[in-house]
């Protein structure tokens, strides 16, 4: 699994630029308040985006103060494995303090990308988990799993943009 997940074409410069874009995304995609109703709306938006992609995926939203999954949906072509990877992405995000690809990007900048995949599936430093913040407080995590080539992150961005009425920058780097 570790070899499949690595992105050998990601350069240190690409990773540094992607880290800045990720910081910008995290700054712009914040809620004024976020509870179960907002989780249901956001999860439903993420689910509604399936026709825009070639495959289905899973969507989970976990409330971080108690670890309760307040939203979950899995497309008919996905299964428990996608939920396992979504949870691994969530753990990678929580450990990094940023969206799940942060550790991958940070390791690439440091020239040590090989070891970042050592704890898969418990920690999956790939695109697909994003902090839901109210102000500066991380209150929930949106996780998507089932697509490839960083498209799980694209689902997250599109859902948050629609829910919050904002547009955020994208990176051009090949981030998994």
Task: Indicate whether 7 belongs to any domain.
Answer: yes
Identify the pLDDT of residue 7: 42
Token pair of 138 as six digits: 């991380």
How many domains does the chain fold into? 1
- Residue 106: give its domain's CATH number: 3.30.450.150
Residue 10 lies in a domain: yes
Task: Give the torsion sign (CA, 86, 88, 89, 95).
Answer: positive
Given this model, what pLDDT does residue 30 score?
Answer: 98
- pLDDT at residue number 1: 35
Q: What is the pLDDT of residue 173?
A: 82
Q: Tell me if 174 is assigned to some domain.
A: no
Domain, as residue range, for 63: 2-164
Q: Give the per-residue pLDDT at 146.
A: 98
Q: Is residue 175 part of a domain?
A: no
114 found inside a domain: yes
Q: Is residue 169 part of a domain?
A: no
- Tokens read off for 132: 């839901």
Tokens linked to 68? 């309760």
pLDDT for position 172: 82
Instruction: Determine the Cα–Cα distance for residues 172 and 15; give it in Å rounded to an integer.
Output: 10
* Below-50 pLDDT ranges, the chain: 1-7
């Amino acid at each position: 699994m570790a070899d499949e997940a690595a992105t050998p074409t990601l350069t240190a410069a690409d990773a540094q630029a992607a880290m800045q874009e990720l910081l910008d995304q995290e700054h712009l995609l914040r809620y004024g308040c976020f509870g179960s109703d907002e989780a249901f709306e956001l999860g439903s938006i993420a689910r509604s985006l399936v026709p825009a992609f070639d495959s289905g995926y899973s969507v989970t939203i976990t409330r971080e103060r108690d670890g309760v999954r307040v939203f979950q949906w899995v497309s008919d072509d996905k299964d428990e494995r996608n939920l396992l990877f979504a949870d691994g992405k969530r753990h990678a995000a929580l450990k990094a303090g940023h969206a799940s690809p942060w550790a991958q990007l940070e390791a690439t900048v440091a020239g040590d990308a090989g070891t970042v995949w050592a704890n898969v599936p418990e920690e999956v430093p790939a695109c697909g988990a994003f902090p839901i913040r109210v102000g500066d407080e991380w209150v929930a995590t949106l996780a998507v799993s089932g697509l490839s080539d960083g498209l799980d992150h694209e689902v997250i961005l599109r859902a948050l943009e629609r829910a919050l009425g904002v547009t955020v920058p994208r990176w051009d780097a090949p981030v998994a």
